[in-house]
Amino acid sequence: MAEVEPTFLGLDPGGWVALAMFAVFAIFIWKKVPAAIGKALDDRIKLIRGQLAEAESLRKEAEALKAEYEKKAKSADKDRAALLERAKHEAEEIVAKAKTDAEALIERRTRMAEDKIAAEERTAIEQLRAAAAEAATKAAARLIAERHDASSDEKLVDQAIKEIAGR
């Protein structure tokens, strides 16, 4: 025997489900739900496109910054090398100047020492001559005092007068 499906107003359960689905779709269309869903999807698509565009511009900015920093790093390496080279040259110049100055200072000090030694030698020679002259004068005075008496002094004075008058 065949089973019979129950019906209501001539519709079986599948018909009622179809009718309910039709009613839901009709309400959706009447309340403009597909347009709202489409608008929501369009807004979401615009948001995602905006985010993608922003991400693309950020990526381009990041690449530009990366390139700029790479260029700056290369420039900094060049500057560092140039600074190092300049510092080496300056150090060499300072060392050469210090060497020249030291040699000049040594030469000046040597000359000053030689001049001082020469001055001390002259002073010593002058003192020695003065001492020798004083000793000779004293010795001559003593010899004259010992060898000459009043009569020999008188003869010397007379002889000196004759020499002066004979001229």
Give the model confidence (pLDDT) of 58-96 as tens digits: 999 999 999 999 999 888 888 888 899 999 999 999 999
28 near 34, Cβ under 8 Å?
A: yes
Angle 127-109-117 from CA coordinates, rounded to 5°? 15
pLDDT over 90 percentage in the chain: 50
